[in-house]
Structure 1
Amino acid sequence: MTDSPQPTDIAALVRRIEVLEAEADIRRLQARYMFLCDTPLPEYGVEDDAGRIDRIMALYTEDAVWEGVGEYYEGQFGKAVGAAAIRKHFESFWGEKKDPALLLNCHYLTSEQIQVHGQTAEGQWVHMQPWLFSDGKALLRSSRLNNAFRLEPNGVWKITRTRTENVFIAPLPSGWASDYPSKSVLMK
């Protein structure tokens, strides 16, 4: 005869599963944010920056904070508190045509650490992103992310804080990338 599980054993297993599911949700949430920040935008059916920004804002809580910290990013990005201020931040980045235009920007996430504390969580990542502009200039940027998340009453995790700190920015030689698309068709 086998011993049946004790209620405390079942409760512990349920909690472990909840943590694993939270980590997976947060991982997808962070990856989605980065995906929506890529250029050209790979999200099928979004033809303008307003649609991109709407989708990004759907990932944030109303009371969220987006901030650049440290000696380089604090002055470059500053701090936006609340959904309206974060939207304005993104509109300043994508809301108008820039010269030179950004042709390529792709985010690569690594060094993930996620800590779940019940209905809240924090996550740290390092990310790299190449940038290519229409005037031929290019750079490679790396940042550390220390972000916070909250499980909303509807059971959906959202971002409550994006905090980014520069690791390095390195100029890349002209022509370092070739054969990049002007528009993504991956999700068609």
Structure 2
Amino acid sequence: MTQANIDALLTRLAALEAQNAVRKTIARYMALCDLPCAPLEGEALAALFTDDAVWEGIGPQYAKKFGRLQGRTAIVEMLQRYLPPTPHFASNVHFLTSEHIEVMGDIVKGRWIMLQASAYVDAKAELISARLEIDFAPSSRDENNAWLIRHFRTERLFDAPWQVNPRKETHA
């Protein structure tokens, strides 16, 4: 095996590891936005973002609703308006699909289609679909090869009301 072959394999391995780390980051983000949520010890939304991160709503519905937020503190403050102890969601679950992750050295770009199933404290419920485009950067704070959210863009594609049925007890 030549040094060129070894270098090519190392580059491919680094790309696979970056893709896996990005999947972990976006999965933790979604799980921390789900309700009910059971974060792991010491886990926080703020730890998933770079210091200078941008979070923005794009498109006709989300540009006006969310706008553009810059910096980890501003982003987490906005997200906390939808999470306990604020009474907003009674339950909330995110599903991701149509994944595409592209690694370009120190930048990783990911795209997903998200389906969000939400029940609100006012007893209404809806399904929301959004396109997510997210840029990631390697963490300078973490030795575990973590990748952090650098630029999060979300665009609502559609929404639809739905009925949340209370759990029914079944007896065997």
- What TM-score do you get using the length of structure 1 for normalisation? 0.81
Structure 1 counterpart of 2:18, from 22, 26, 43: 22
2:167 to 160, 171, 179: 179
Using the TM superposition, give the Cα deviation of residue 103 of structure 1 relative to its aligned residue in structure 2, in angstroms. Answer: 1.1
The structure number with the bigger radius of gyration is 1
Cα deviation for residue 44 of structure 1 reads: 5.0
Query: 2:44: which partner in 1?
Result: 55
Gaps of 5+ in 2: none
Q: Which amino acid aligns with 1:123?
A: G
Q: Secondary structure at the match of 2:167?
A: coil
The alignment yields a C-alpha RMSD, in angstroms, of: 1.9
Measure, in 1, the Cα distance between the counterparts of 2:167 and 2:138. Answer: 41
Partner AA of 1:142 in structure 2: S
The question of whether the paired residues in 1 share the 8 Å contact of 2:33 and 2:83 is answered with no
Q: Given the alignment, which residue of 61, 65, 79 partners 1:72?
A: 61
Q: Distance in 2 between matches of 1:92 and 1:103?
A: 14
**Identity within the alignment, %:** 37
Instruction: Give the direction of change, closer, same or farther, for the CA distance of 1:64–1:6 in structure 2 (3 Å limit).
Output: same
CA shift at 1:65, angstroms? Answer: 0.3
Secondary structure of 1:145's aligned partner: strand
1:86-109: per-residue Cα shift (whole Å, max 9, x none)? 1221233336533xx421100001
Q: Which residue of 1 aligns with 2:108?
A: 121
Once the two structures are superposed, residues 62-96 of structure 1 have per-residue CA deviations (whole angstroms, 9 ceiling, x without a partner) of: 00001000000011111101112112212333365
The 1-side partners of 2:114 and 2:133 are apart by: 11
Larger mean Cα displacement after TM superposition, 139-148 or 76-85: 76-85
User: Unpaired segments of 5 or more residues in structure 1?
Assistant: 46-50, 181-188
TM-score scaled to structure 2, two decimals? Answer: 0.88
